[in-house]
Structure 1
Amino acid sequence: MPLYVELKQAALRQYYRRLIWFQRLPMNQRLCYILLAAVLIFGLIIIYRSYQPADSIAIISDTAVRVDFFVMSKCPDARKCELLFAPTLLKLSSIINFTVSFIAYETNSNEITCMHGSNECLGNKQQLCVQSMCSQTTLIKFLQCQSKQMENIPDNGEQCVKELSDNTLKWSDIDTCVKSNKANELFHKSLEKTRSASAKKSCTMHLNGKFWCMHDGTWYGCTEGRDEKSLIKAICSRYNGPNKPIECTTSI
């Protein structure tokens, strides 16, 4: 007789023995066992539903909400996040502190390689230079502009600067930054921040230093939602300061 058949028969014999034992108990004892089992199951359900991982607990403050995107400039998942959430970030720019950091590979000799090639490294540097030299609204618009034609990064950097800066920012300044040691320093600091945040997938989003949502082929860990309205609600609920944008009252 096959082993699995013997095991199945043994399990059935044990089940019927316990069933017969239970049926022979007085009615009041059977009711006690049933009630005890129901209480145990109900308690486990309550504990499960009320449990919140530490990373999902919202930090509420009267200061600007820190919004961090950990991305790769030529990654389709980064494009997904930036194009989807850029309008929200612009609407809430008065109550957020937005930064973009990058995911790449750094060797012991401080050499950096990017998953999508050297052009991605240049695109990362362009975005870091814009971040260091411009307002966050200009940065968000620059990310939005480049992501619309992600396949053209870094060649579309100059055109995006011209479209967004109203001549207040010159492409020559960004290009000089990208080719300088400053861009390398910005890149290394960005990678340090990414490692500190334990962000390994593009695109990973953090609010106030805590994981909020990630897109890596599909959405992961987005317990508060994964659309514009969800991000508005998440940011507004973490901000307890004055002068909330109108979106905070109309979207919650």
Structure 2
Amino acid sequence: MGRRSDGGSAVVVGQGDKSTGTEEGLENHPEDRSSNRRVPLEAHIMSKCPDAQACLQQLVVPAMEQISDKVDFGLSFIANVSSGSSEIKCKHGPGECVGDMIILCAANLPFPPDGSDEGAKTPTIRSLGFANCLIGEYEDIPGRPLVEKCAAQHGIDFDALNRCASNQDDDPNDPDKLSGLALLRKSALRSAKLKAGISCTVRLDESVWCVRDGGVWKDCVKGGKASEVSVLVEEVNRLYDEKN
């Protein structure tokens, strides 16, 4: 399980001057996607969390295989962010912070890689597949063999991914290069703002849909049945028809 915490064995990533980042403008979350007629669907996770693994494998990915064209999907990450510096603490250690950054970088790389489609990013279903591949073996995050394998399987440019994840310049206003640290900072601020502190928290249409914590589903709507793929798919279809 994973809960945001200021104590324990959390580690620090990216200490430095105060960041210029804010919680607005996060790449790879539903409100930044193109069509406002799609249904916002978001999962808040920690990359080295077994509940995140179960959440993706049992609910999110199977549902997305059926409704990816009807939702604005995003993965957001849970970590402790300092308001006075670029300091970030991740519950499961430094590898988790790196894993979070790698997944965010993958979702925000130009697509196609040559940038011929200006402003386009990695297709959601591809970046989700990459994230699911990594988290499926979360114990090995952020090992290079695992990252290379998942990148190859899902068509992610490993070199570009590595550059983004290695960039420690915590400046979200830098137009020239992606920074994994800046992306993680924004993502963690978003989760904190939405009070999504448990990995995994699934939100649908801006409300909590279901939570996976300690190996069990809880706080699930629809009479506790929201952890069922068919129930999520049915609700997305209903909301999509309502919006369109």
Q: Residue in 2 aligned with 1:125? A: 101
CA distance in structure 1 between the partners assigned to 2:243 and 2:202 by the alignment: 25
CA distance in structure 1 between the partners assigned to 2:142 and 2:66 by the alignment: 27
Query: Shift in Å at residue 241 of structure 1?
Result: 6.7
Query: Shift in Å at residue 144 of structure 1?
Result: 1.6
Match of 1:110 among 78, 86, 94: 86
TM-score by length of 2: 0.70
> What are the equivalent positions in structure 2 for 1:49-128 lying under 5 Å apart?
63-85=37-59, 86-107=61-82, 108-128=84-104
C-alpha contact (below 8 Å) 1:82/1:143 kept by paired residues: no
Query: Shift in Å at residue 87 of structure 1?
Result: 2.1
C-alpha contact (below 8 Å) 2:95/2:142 kept by paired residues: yes
Q: Residue in 2 aligned with 1:13? A: none
Structure 1, unmatched stretches of 5+, are 1-60, 244-252
CA distance in structure 1 between the partners assigned to 2:125 and 2:36 by the alignment: 21
Q: Secondary structure at the match of 1:239?
A: helix
RMSD over aligned CA atoms reads 1.8
> What are the equivalent positions in structure 2 for 1:208-247 lying under 5 Å apart?
208-217=205-214, 218-224=216-222, 225=225, 226-240=227-241
Q: Residue in 1 aligned with 2:137? A: 149
Structure 2, unmatched stretches of 5+, are 1-34, 110-121, 170-178
Distance 1:112 1:65, change over 3 A: same
Query: Shift in Å at residue 62 of structure 1?
Result: 7.7
Deviating more after overlay: 147-156 vs 119-128: 147-156
C-alpha contact (below 8 Å) 2:198/2:213 kept by paired residues: yes
Letter in 2 for 1:179: S
Distance 1:210 1:123, change over 3 A: same
C-alpha contact (below 8 Å) 1:145/1:160 kept by paired residues: yes
Letter in 2 for 1:79: Q
Q: Which has the higher contact order (CA 8 A, sep 6+)?
A: 2
CA distance in structure 1 between the partners assigned to 2:65 and 2:40 by the alignment: 14
The structure richer in strand per residue is 2
Overall identity of the aligned pairs, in %: 29
Q: Secondary structure at the match of 2:210?
A: strand
Q: Residue in 1 aligned with 2:163? A: 176
Q: Secondary structure at the match of 2:241?
A: coil
CA distance in structure 2 between the partners assigned to 1:144 and 1:215 by the alignment: 16
